[in-house]
Chains A and B, each alone.
Chain A
Amino acid sequence: MDSALIPEGAKRCSFPKFYMGIAVVGAVVLWGLLAWGLIYWKGLNQTNMNDYYGFALWIWADLAVIAVGGGAFFTGLLKYIFKIDELKNIINFAVIIGFICYSSALLILAIDIGQPLRGWFIFWHANVHSMLTEVAFCLSFYFAVLTIEFIPNILENRQANKVSFFHHLAHNMHGIMVIFAATGAALSFFHQGSLGGVAGVMFGRPFSFREHLNIWPYTFFLFTWSAAAFWPCFTLLVTKITETITGKKLVGDKTVHLLSKIAGWMITSYIIAKIIDTIYWATVTAPSLGFKWTHFYSNNALYGKWMLFTELILCGVLPGVLLIMKSTRENSKLRLLAIILGVIGVCLNRWVMVLQVMAVPVMPFDTWALYIPSWQEMATTILPVAYGIILIALTYRYLPVFPQEQELNYPVEEEAVDEPVVAPAAEPVAATE
């Protein structure tokens, strides 16, 4: 039914089967939209946030998707600026994942603010001292850059590409993409850092407060570093999930191994910096404010030292080491374990830097505050995930996202090119989509 839109030579499942799947995920989207509608109609009292938890699940989701979605900027930087050509095999997908993550972040922010119609005040009445102002500007501009980076891929759709203007536009946009890659990298560096700065500048909150290098707290650099370290894990994880669902190999081993290697070294270097930062905070910063570091990990039901161990060692050091060593990196099961741990690690870091900051008592007579999100918060947090699944499904079906798909799945067809007669289309190796 929609075969004219499917990339030439690509094998996709039947139209009804595809849209049945979309309908299932679409139901989740509708659930999220219902919650969103309730929140806009009745207000943020639909959440379980309170005056202790002004920042909660949504802000964590925001920080987490931006961290794991950092692949778009880093892949662009490595491919276009550092000329690592191997990454051309995954850059389209990295851009799509980035687009989903950043649009999700903006969507969540739009739900999160108490007066959505005043959202533009952040630009109009901007306070240059606020890290959130920098986040808003860089996030919006970078989303625009991501959209520009995404457009050529959309225009490469089989039908769109038949239009001469679109064909040439896509071609020329590819040609100047280095400019956008550089712009995106600069913007991303700042907003990833600013998101770390959001917690690091709060000098009234000893758990998150960090010493500064000039005007930037150490968390500024750690957030940028961690986003640059963990994005390959998320990109590889989503690729793996897509490969599992489609039953096809979509990215070659060489690219996967390269990304894993980059992740390994970046995670290891990041986690060393993070451990140094934690030790300095625990032994110098917190005590100077009257706190023993154990104060932040005791007398409550959730936040214990296990969390610190999980973030730094289990989901930091371990995946770093697994991805550095060639033998474990090239073992598909251990690699998968490492990238899952990596994704959990960076998400846990964002959780700690948002939720635990709010939970810790600062006044000596105050108490720990724990929080469980309402179904409306959960639905609106799952909403972007469902939206992401749909967008990935649509782009995979209709756009040439993976340049290696043909050679990895239809080798028979490639050989057939040299044949003097037109060979019948070969079945994909594992077209069980």
Chain B
Amino acid sequence: MKQEHNKAHKFGMVIDLDKCTGCGSCMVSCMSENNVPFKDDESDKKKSITWMRVYKLTNGKSFPDTEIVYMPRPCQHCGGKGDHGHSPCVSVCPATATDYGYDTGIVSQIYTRCFGCRYCMGACPYHARYFNWWDPKWPEGMEKYLSPDVSPRMRGIVEKCSFCYHRYQAARDQAYAEGDKDNIPEENYQTACTTACPAGAIVFGDLNNPEHKVHQIVKPDPHPDPRNKHVVGKSRNPKVFRLLERLGTNTKVYYLSDREWVRKQGDNYLEGEWDKIKNHHGDTSHG
């Protein structure tokens, strides 16, 4: 019998920064869902593990014109230049301990293979990768709340957001059991941060599936950006942007905002460049 190949998914999310209140529910739910350990001192943010980290951005203006936005930042699950799967981290890992799933678009981390060289951390411009500087510890009694679906990580290795891959596995298993292995309903695979967000700011789904809300909001352009051949999947929604898109990392996490200054914070621009470039974002980018 001829084996049919599954149509590749491309899971991603769009975060509405105008809805995000910075409450931190996404961070807490992520830590809880993924068995992220606690530190004695969580105040040192360069050493604490936050797969999902919320940054506070400001428009830089003084009162009363000050505006603030909170930007949740999970692993961006980069597709790399040209979206070929050579993410900044995947391409540098010497032991193939982090890999790109061509069937999902998810960048995985193989904890038992990572030997802790931290090259991937150096290569990631988003600081989305975290090293286990200490042995994992939980306050007494909390070990009982650990999720059996996610393996805790040992000291001396790197970890990061997996887009709650175990939830994808469960959804896939269910799809197989129900006899329709190619169809994973949108609601069956949602990340913990998405489900926890009280404002509904995070939308998660398959960017390749036009029926999914994330696809409808982002409207990703499958063709390379004519201005930068390394960029693929640019949003055709003028209010949607990606972090550091110009580097050609081709992230699968998109951000949405009505405010121009917020969108400008998504990338680096030379003086006067933003005014020329801003109109090339989204729909207007390709006429």
Contacts and interface: CB of A to CB of B under 8 A. Distances in A.
Contacts of B264: 364
Interface in B66-102: 71, 81, 86, 88, 91-97
A170 B181 CA distance: 68
Contacts of B119: 54-55, 130, 132, 198
A82 interface: no
A79 to B, nearest CB: 33
Contacts of B94: 122, 126-127, 130, 132-133, 136
Contacts of B46: 50-53, 369
Contacts of A203: 81, 88, 247-249
A206 interface: yes
Interface in B133-179: 133-135, 154-158
A201 interface: yes
A276 B118 CA distance: 31
A204 B269 contact: no
Nearest to B243: A363
A287 B114 CA distance: 35
Given A198-B119, A289-B268, A51 B130 contact: yes
Given A113-B117, A119-B115, A51 B247 contact: no
Interface in A40-72: 43-45, 49-55
Contacts of A358: 122
B116 interface: yes
Given A55-B122, A205-B122, A43 B268 contact: no
A124 B271 CA distance: 48
Interface residues of A, number: 51
Contacts of B243: 363
B48 to A, nearest CB: 8
Given A204-B244, A362-B125, A43 B134 contact: yes
A55 B115 contact: no
Interface in B41-59: 44, 46-47, 55, 57
Contacts of B129: 51, 54
B126 A202 contact: no
Contacts of B213: none
B156 A115 contact: yes
Interface in A326-381: 357-358, 362-366, 369
Nearest to A295: B268
A311 interface: no
A292 B269 CA distance: 9
A422 B266 CA distance: 85
A113 B116 contact: yes
Given A52-B46, A114-B116, A290-B273, A43 B133 contact: yes
B117 A205 contact: no
Nearest to B119: A132
Contact of A122 (B91, B115, B269): B115
A399 B124 CA distance: 48
A115 B127 contact: no
Given A129-B91, A206-B247, A364-B268, A114 B155 contact: yes
Nearest to A120: B115
A127 B125 CA distance: 21
B113 interface: yes
B9 interface: no
Nearest to B129: A51
A15 interface: no
Nearest to B47: A50
B246 interface: yes
A125 interface: yes
A134 to B, nearest CB: 9
Nearest to A208: B122
B209 interface: no
A55 B86 CA distance: 21
A112 B92 CA distance: 17
B211 interface: no
A289 B270 CA distance: 9
B156 A114 contact: yes
B249 A121 contact: no
Interface in B166-206: none
Given A43-B156, A365-B57, A127 B93 contact: yes
Given A112-B117, A133-B94, 13 more contacts: A43-B156, A52-B46, A55-B122, A115-B115, A121-B95, A121-B113, A124-B95, A130-B91, A202-B88, A204-B123, A206-B247, A363-B126, A364-B267
25 contacts: A44-B131, A45-B133, A51-B129, A52-B127, A54-B131, A115-B115, A115-B116, A121-B95, A122-B115, A126-B94, A127-B93, A127-B94, A127-B95, A130-B94, A132-B94, A202-B122, A204-B124, A290-B268, A291-B268, A295-B268, A362-B125, A362-B244, A362-B268, A365-B71, A365-B265
Interface of B: 44, 46-47, 55, 57, 71, 81, 86, 88, 91-97, 113-119, 121-127, 129-135, 154-158, 243-244, 246-249, 264-271, 273
Interface of A: 43-45, 49-55, 112-116, 118-119, 121-122, 124-127, 129-133, 136, 198, 201-206, 287-292, 295, 357-358, 362-366, 369
* Pairs A-B, 8 closest by C-beta atoms: A114-B116, A114-B156, A290-B268, A54-B118, A54-B121, A118-B115, A50-B46, A204-B125
